[in-house]
Every structure is written in C-alpha cells, then in structure tokens.
C-alpha cells in the first residue's frame, strides 16, 4: 500500500480523521474533519512523524533545518526532527513562542539559530496565517524558506479561486508537501464499500468547494 493511503488509514483508525457533518471555520458543512491534535500519545506521534519524513523525502526538496510554528507546529517539528534522525539525517530545528519572553534568553525563537534553507512543518494550511508569520520570522533572521510540510491538503477553495495551499504557493513561491490530500482520501473511501455514503458526501462537497486543478 502506498504510504499516503497508509496515512489515511492510520488517521481514520486513530479517529483523527472522522466522517459525518462538521462546520468549518469558513461556515461550510464538511463531511469530514481532520484534527492532528488527536495524535496525542508517543506511538501515534512517532508514526505521524515517520509519515512526514516519507513525504519530505518523496518531495526531494533541498533544506538545512526545520521550523515549527506555535503551537501545533512545536510537537510536530520535534517529532519530525527525531524521525529524520532515526532515518539517518540529523537536522537542527527551531520553533517560535506566541509571546515574547523578556527574561532568560528572551525573544520569540527557541532552538537552533535560523540559517540556510528552512522547511516549515505544520499540520494543515487553512488561512495561511501561521505560514505567513513563519516566513516573516525566517526571512527576518536572514534565512531562506525551502517550503512547507503539512499532514493533509483539503484541496478546498479559499477566498478566491485557489485553495489555501495554492495561495501559499502563489504568494510566497513556496512548494507545499502534503503527506496526503483529498484525492488520497477519496481513494481510501473508494476501497471501502462500507463507507459508500461518506464517499458520496465527500464527492459532493468536493464538486462544490474543491479546486478544479492542483
């Protein structure tokens, strides 16, 4: 089985990816919901991180270090750095805190100094706010942004005719590597006849809100 399909199966098994009726931030009624915060024990975080590594390796992007935007990106970048080390590549990583610290080392950045080509690690891209803030932080430190690695690309229209991921790619000229996307989710549903009702709901939602090309 392709690792992307394996990831969808893993997310469904952990109830991180659920089917039903869920209201999105945009006020849409979505037939599925993905909450990476439910990868909340050591074993699932390790496996999630290993999926990120497979996706990053498949993307073939050159980069020198990892960065995780607060808050969800902090455990993700830590896990991915450890999984990368287990796979034979030991990389420095950093993350930011939301509030500036005025004692100790001070500032908003924690971890290795931002330098070289930096890969941002986050869970999803919805409004693209955390990506924008991360890009500004990284560039202000004199480093370059190599790209963004996320768990799931919903391939859903943002405010205009592009998805949130496509907007990031357009606005910053950055590649976005997703472990899986809506097409992989549809493929998973296709292979599970017992989920036919959900497959129809996801297909209908995609035809209404999905991007036509990716």
Structural element, H or E, at residue 100: strand 93-101
pLDDT of residue 1: 72
pLDDT of residue 90: 98
- Those residues of the chain that have pLDDT short of 70 are 100-107, 213-214
pLDDT of residue 101: 53
Residue 93: cis peptide before it, omega within 30 degrees of 0: no
What one-character DSSP code corresponds to residue 51?
H
> CB of 64 within 8 A of CB of 91?
yes
Residue of 23, 103, 184, 192 with catalytic role:
103
CA atoms within 13 A on the CB side of 198: 21
> Tokens at residue 33, please?
């919901």
Q: Which of 181, 171, 143, 178 is nearest to 66 (CA)?
A: 143
Residue of 101, 117, 184, 198 with catalytic role:
101
pLDDT of residue 213: 61
Please say if 103 is a catalytic residue. yes
Q: Convert the pLDDT of each residue in 83-134 to its tens digit.
A: 999 999 999 999 998 776 554 444 589 999 999 999 999 999 987 788 999 9
Q: What is the largest CA-CA distance in the chain?
A: 58
pLDDT of residue 100: 61
Please say if 214 is a catalytic residue. no
pLDDT of residue 128: 75
Q: Per the confidence metrics, is the pTM higher than 0.85?
A: yes
Q: Which of 73, 75, 25 is nearest to 46 (CA)?
A: 75
- For 22, 164, 194, 200, the CA distances from 205, given in Å and listed in that order, are 12, 16, 19, 9
* Residue owning tokens 């439910």: 38
pLDDT of residue 3: 97
Coil, strand or helix at 206:
helix
Domains, the chain, ordered by start: 3-209 (3.40.50.2020)
* Residue owning tokens 């993700």: 76
* Residue owning tokens 């915060």: 37
Per 3-state DSSP, what percentage of the chain is helix, strand, and coil (rounded to 5)?
45, 25, 30
- What angle (nearest 5°) sits at the alpha carbon of residue 144, between those of residues 62 and 53? 40
């Amino acid at each position: 089985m392709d690792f992307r399909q394996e990831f969808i199966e893993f997310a469904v098994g952990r109830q991180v990816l659920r089917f039903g009726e869920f209201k999105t931030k945009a006020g849409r009624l979505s037939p599925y919901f993905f909450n990476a915060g439910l990868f909340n024990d050591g074993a699932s975080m390790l496996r999630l991180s290993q999926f990120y590594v497979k996706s990053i390796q498949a993307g073939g992007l050159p980069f020198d270090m990892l960065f995780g935007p607060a808050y969800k990106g902090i455990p993700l970048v830590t896990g991915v750095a450890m999984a990368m080390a287990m796979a034979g590549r030991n990389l420095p990583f950093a993350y930011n805190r939301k509030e500036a610290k005025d004692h100790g080392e001070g500032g908003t950045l924690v971890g290795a100094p931002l330098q070289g080509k930096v890969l941002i690690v986050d869970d999803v891209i919805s409004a693209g706010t955390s990506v924008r803030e991360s890009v500004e932080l990284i560039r202000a430190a004199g480093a370059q942004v190599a790209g963004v690695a996320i768990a799931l690309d919903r391939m859903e229209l943002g405010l205009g005719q592009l998805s949130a991921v496509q907007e990031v790619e357009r606005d910053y000229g950055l590649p976005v590597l997703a472990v899986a996307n809506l097409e992989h989710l549809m493929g998973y549903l296709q292979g599970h006849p017992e989920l036919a009702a959900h497959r129809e709901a996801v297909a209908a939602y995609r035809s209404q809100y999905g991007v036509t090309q990716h």
